[in-house]
Structure 1
Amino acid sequence: MKGKRVLMFIENVFEDMELLYPYYRLIEAGAEVVVAGPKANTIYKGKNGYPFKSTAAITDQRAEDFDLLVIAGGFAPDKLRRDPKVQELTREIHEAGKVVAHICHGGWIPISAGIMDGFTCTSTPGIKDDLENAGAKWVDKEVVIDRNQISSRKPDDLPAFCKAIIELAAR
């Protein structure tokens, strides 16, 4: 992961573990991780109350500056998916063939970006219908890799999720 740049999105009510575990694991693996929120240098609170400060603003990001995108779950993706810039970044990273990884409710963002049609994925069962209505095939597995997309269901799947991200991004 040395030399790789990772984009993560943040907004209030993110799933604490699904943001923090990949954030630190990817840094540990040598990546530079940018956590972009609606505003730079702003503290956002997780679903379980853990605070995390954004390192950048979403509006200032360019897809070509990143090697992969990792999307945490919680209820933050429901807010973020409405942002045209979030949709654009997600779509452009995907269309460039770069890794797009999403966990739990994080799948809402790729749905709104229009990139799920024809992909096999997993998520929390709560958005299974949304993914299927977007053209994805949903399966109940701890991690699913389909071409440049990686998906997982919940915090318990984080070890397999992060391992898959690091392995696929290293190719």
Structure 2
Amino acid sequence: MKKILFLIVPNGFRDEEYDIPKRVFEKNNIEVVTCSDKPGPLTGKLGKVTANVDILLKDVKIEDYDAIAIAGGQDYFWNNPKILEMLKTMDQAKKPIGAICISGCIPAQADIMKGRKCTVFETPASVEEIKKHGAIYTGEQCTVDGNVVTAEGPTAAKNFAEEIVKQLS
């Protein structure tokens, strides 16, 4: 069984950006390991979803996973050294990387998106951030470039998850 590390912020992750992909992954027999830097249970921004944390960020060995996905939730994980290193490792191994909403900036911050296309929840700061790192902003709902899947927000959650599933097939 394939295994995906699903990273969520401890305060204010978007309910749909976690819950919808999680259900898509599980329906496709992908084991979902929920990760944050604080123990759970954690409640989504809308208060509709509660997530149990399976592993703390500090304890993750990224080599144990077939893919990584990062749900949206402000810029909380921007420039987090551990996450940036995990993304570099996953990219070098050509393993799927997914980032939705404002988290779409994180692969760019890991310097794995130079000359590659991506999308993000559009704010002046988020678009500037990905361009600053050499990524090509598409403005699309969901963008796939190689092993990296980015999506603009909650309305793209199902498509985002399905693209990651394709990569794991």
Give the one of 114, 118, 122 matched to 1:125. 122
Alpha-carbon offset, residue 169 of structure 1: 1.6
The Cα offsets for residues 72-112 of structure 1, whole Å up to 9 and x where unpaired, read as 1121xx22234322222122112211011111111132233
Alpha-carbon offset, residue 161 of structure 1: 1.4
1:80 — aligned with what? Answer: 77
Q: Indicate whether 1:99 and 2:96 are aligned.
A: yes
Work out whether residues 144 and 150 of structure 2, in 8 Å CA contact, stay in contact via their aligned partners in 1. Answer: yes
Work out whether residues 108 and 135 of structure 2, in 8 Å CA contact, stay in contact via their aligned partners in 1. Answer: no
C-alpha distance in structure 1 between counterparts of 2:18 and 2:98, whole Å = 12
Query: What percentage of residue pairs aligned between the two structures are identical?
Result: 28
Work out whether residues 5 and 67 of structure 2, in 8 Å CA contact, stay in contact via their aligned partners in 1. Answer: yes
Work out whether residues 8 and 72 of structure 2, in 8 Å CA contact, stay in contact via their aligned partners in 1. Answer: no
* Runs (5+) with no aligned partner, structure 1: none
3-state secondary structure, aligned to 1:79:
coil
Q: Indicate whether 1:13 and 2:24 are aligned.
A: no
Work out whether residues 39 and 56 of structure 1, in 8 Å CA contact, stay in contact via their aligned partners in 2. Answer: no
Alpha-carbon offset, residue 153 of structure 1: 1.0
Alpha-carbon offset, residue 159 of structure 1: 2.4
Work out whether residues 117 and 143 of structure 2, in 8 Å CA contact, stay in contact via their aligned partners in 1. Answer: yes
Work out whether residues 24 and 158 of structure 2, in 8 Å CA contact, stay in contact via their aligned partners in 1. Answer: no
Q: Matches of residues 1-171 of structure 1 in structure 2 within 5 Å?
A: 3-11=1-9, 12-40=11-39, 42-49=40-47, 50-75=49-74, 78-126=75-123, 127-170=126-169
Q: Which moved more, 1:23-32 or 1:101-110?
A: 101-110
Work out whether residues 121 and 152 of structure 2, in 8 Å CA contact, stay in contact via their aligned partners in 1. Answer: yes
TM norm structure 2: 0.90
C-alpha distance in structure 1 between counterparts of 2:57 and 2:158, whole Å = 27
* Number of aligned positions between the proteins: 165
C-alpha distance in structure 1 between counterparts of 2:60 and 2:20, whole Å = 22
3-state secondary structure, aligned to 2:140:
coil
Superposed CA RMSD in Å reads 1.5
Alpha-carbon offset, residue 114 of structure 1: 2.2
Change (3 A) 1:22 1:60: same
* Runs (5+) with no aligned partner, structure 2: none
Work out whether residues 105 and 120 of structure 2, in 8 Å CA contact, stay in contact via their aligned partners in 1. Answer: no
The Cα offsets for residues 105-140 of structure 1, whole Å up to 9 and x where unpaired, read as 111322332222111011111112211111100112
Q: Which amino acid aligns with 1:14?
A: F
